[in-house]
Structure 1
């Protein structure tokens, strides 16, 4: 028993590891609320907000025109998207902590090795997805940083009689001599973009970890229902008590999964609503700017930047909606497990119990913004279609 507990504890630590490291880096780990952590969060939030402000201040010193507005907003909105998520996680620290504690409590409920095997499969899926996506994201950021600093690098490697011209990828205004303080401005941009990417992955991985945990609980409940129904059909008279115990345990785990999912949905409903608006707007503006760059300027570096932004936003939309689809699919698995099982071989009173459970679990469980929008693959196509529609509207108005 001690060996099983030790293995369970090790698996649990692996389950939290990546999101834990990312949240600690951001100062968002709910079990660290020291004075230093508060300063940590204030510093990161300030870097993100001041970077947004530096872009908006361009309108103070530059003559306003609609093209400039669209160009500035196309870089402001992605940073704003991440900043909102970061600040929301600060506000919802108690909810993040409650969800983590419920996850730990759920681990303690695991009774046998098969349950650990089921939940470990979801752990490995999270690990593979997290490592792959983080490597892709930070390699892309490194490439863009090298391209941004390329004139400085070439001046060192292959110096000319005069310094190579330097241009910031993102238009900003600091009310200082940009040529004189270019290194400070560049440092601010790199730090803000790096924090934004870490916040993007840290909050995303945490939410995906929660969703995959709920899916694992649904899977365990379905496994016990399938096992109980089959066994009851083989020896219905001798094993009535064991059958009832399995049904009760399966329903208990299923109820825990529903409670966890409802807590997750209620904690982040406002966030989902805000991000839907900001995310669709951001994607529309980035698509418009990408289209302008391809047809008018042919600036490959700017094209790469907006291609990266579009890819990250589409990836985020797909991942979050796919996670919502996973919850919907796993939520109905218990119904399918009972329906496809040998329930007809059970006594009449047992069939009535199973039918009652089927009625309870037939209701779809989903994540999203109340009943208005549910995260799902259909929701992903809806968001993308909306973004493309707004992009086409902006493009037609600018023609």
Structure 2
């Protein structure tokens, strides 16, 4: 990987850069572009959220419509929370990007560098699959009324359906008979832009976490291939090798601690919001599915919506789990290395590195909950409990 001006145009980072640039949260953008993109995003938010608020207030006495508005409002809260966090920690994002650029030079070509490539490529593939799922799910959800109109037009041409949107929206004096389809497509575009912001924040998380995993795995590979000490040699090559590994380890630990602290700062409350709000969304949407079993199009829409929320929570917990596992494995690598064939000076470095490896790198939600797969299972269990309670209350 070169250090030229097009470093971030490498396929490992191209998807993340493109998505983040589109919504004005890419730290390497010019100030002019950031202002333009964020102003456009602010305008989109007003256009999308204001009719939702109007519909909620207009139909506040209708429980079914109120329930329909809650889940989209929660998504808007998650979107706002993530956007504010990223904008507030913009300088930290830029610092982490510079660290990633520099870290490509700390491993030699045949001694662990391929693991950095492997994890960066894994982040790219995960980003592709994730964003494809986000856009397909968002498009299916936002165009659900249009799909119903087309289906009924083919099957029941004599039936006229009520013109509605994928979520309760009220556009006031605007004549829906004339402007319905432009407003529907405009709403779908706004939904996709909001999902782009949420997805871009997650792509940054994927990139940072997988890069950190690559540093740990690359260092572990270098330590496992510690050269044996030659007692007849005048110069202790193994000590110099291990000392370099110790320096890389110290840099990696410091860098990863900085990574973890910065990522925690950036995603701290968004993690907390995702965990807490996803439980509510999943529960309420599951109730909506049960209440609309006679309407296939609504069941499909709500099923897609709840699936997207579960996938969103899964990938964040999965990414945090991979980072924690990679930091744990370094300790095992140190104990499994052929330290017994090294010189005494080299062996003295092993305990120091082990001490630094005792505490794994973890990402937390609200400084309370550790993000991992156990947390994902707990959230689903809790959401299922809320679902049964809400269903019994009806």
Report the TM-score range of the alignment, normalised by the length of the smaller protein: 0.7 to 0.9
For 1:249, the equivalent position in structure 2 comes to 244
Residue 384 and residue 236 in structure 1: after superposition, are their counterparts in 2 closer, same or farther (change >3 A)? farther
Residue 10 and residue 43 in structure 1: after superposition, are their counterparts in 2 closer, same or farther (change >3 A)? closer
Residues 103-152 of structure 1 show CA distances to partners (whole Å, capped at 9, x for unaligned) of 00111333224433222211321222222232333233344455432366
Maintained 8 Å contact 1:169/1:302? no
Alpha-carbon distance in structure 1 between the residues aligned to 2:326 and 2:64: 46
Aligned-pair Cα RMSD in Å: 3.1
Residue 249 and residue 284 in structure 1: after superposition, are their counterparts in 2 closer, same or farther (change >3 A)? same
Alpha-carbon distance in structure 2 between the residues aligned to 1:64 and 1:267: 44
Residues 245-294 of structure 1 show CA distances to partners (whole Å, capped at 9, x for unaligned) of 22222223333333333333333435333442354324433433333333
Residue 41 and residue 326 in structure 1: after superposition, are their counterparts in 2 closer, same or farther (change >3 A)? same
For 1:224, the equivalent position in structure 2 comes to 222
For 1:38, the equivalent position in structure 2 comes to 35
Alpha-carbon distance in structure 2 between the residues aligned to 1:240 and 1:52: 70
For 1:20, the equivalent position in structure 2 comes to 17
Maintained 8 Å contact 1:325/1:375? yes
Q: Is structure 2 residue 58 aligned with structure 1 residue 61?
A: yes
For 1:133, the equivalent position in structure 2 comes to 130
Alpha-carbon distance in structure 1 between the residues aligned to 2:257 and 2:338: 31
Secondary structure class of the residue paired with 1:332: helix
Following TM superposition, by how much is the alpha carbon of 1:215 offset from its aligned partner in structure 2, in angstroms? 0.5
Maintained 8 Å contact 1:335/1:358? yes
Residue 50 and residue 358 in structure 1: after superposition, are their counterparts in 2 closer, same or farther (change >3 A)? same
Alpha-carbon distance in structure 2 between the residues aligned to 1:142 and 1:370: 32
Q: Is structure 2 residue 155 aligned with structure 1 residue 174?
A: no
Q: Is structure 2 residue 34 aligned with structure 1 residue 52?
A: no
Residues 15-67 of structure 1 show CA distances to partners (whole Å, capped at 9, x for unaligned) of 21110111111122212133343121122133235423322222322242554
In structure 1, runs of 5+ residues without a counterpart are none
Larger deviation, residues 235-244 vs 247-256: 235-244
Maintained 8 Å contact 2:269/2:365? yes
Task: Please report the TM-score for the alignment, with normalisation by the length of structure 2.
Answer: 0.87
Alpha-carbon distance in structure 2 between the residues aligned to 1:272 and 1:240: 49
Maintained 8 Å contact 1:74/1:282? no
Residues 311-330 of structure 1 show CA distances to partners (whole Å, capped at 9, x for unaligned) of 12211211111111111111
For 2:379, the equivalent position in structure 1 comes to 383
Larger deviation, residues 325-334 vs 361-370: 361-370
Alpha-carbon distance in structure 2 between the residues aligned to 1:206 and 1:45: 21
Alpha-carbon distance in structure 2 between the residues aligned to 1:344 and 1:353: 12
Residues 211-247 of structure 1 show CA distances to partners (whole Å, capped at 9, x for unaligned) of 100010111111111111xx226x3563863222222
Alpha-carbon distance in structure 2 between the residues aligned to 1:358 and 1:28: 38
2:190 to 183, 192, 197: 192
Alpha-carbon distance in structure 2 between the residues aligned to 1:147 and 1:130: 25
Residue 38 and residue 341 in structure 1: after superposition, are their counterparts in 2 closer, same or farther (change >3 A)? same
User: Any runs of at least 4 consecutive aligned residues in structure 1 with deviations exceeding 4 A, and if so which?
Assistant: 4-7, 9-12, 151-164
1:118 to 101, 115, 119: 115
For 2:68, the equivalent position in structure 1 comes to 71
In structure 2, runs of 5+ residues without a counterpart are none
Alpha-carbon distance in structure 1 between the residues aligned to 2:317 and 2:237: 39
Maintained 8 Å contact 1:26/1:40? yes
1:320 to 310, 316, 320: 316
Q: How does 1:350-389 map to 2 (within 5 A)?
A: 350-369=346-365, 371-389=367-385
Alpha-carbon distance in structure 2 between the residues aligned to 1:296 and 1:153: 20
Alpha-carbon distance in structure 1 between the residues aligned to 2:32 and 2:328: 45
Following TM superposition, by how much is the alpha carbon of 1:153 offset from its aligned partner in structure 2, in angstroms? 5.0
Task: Please report the TM-score for the alignment, with normalisation by the length of structure 1.
Answer: 0.86
Aligned length: 391
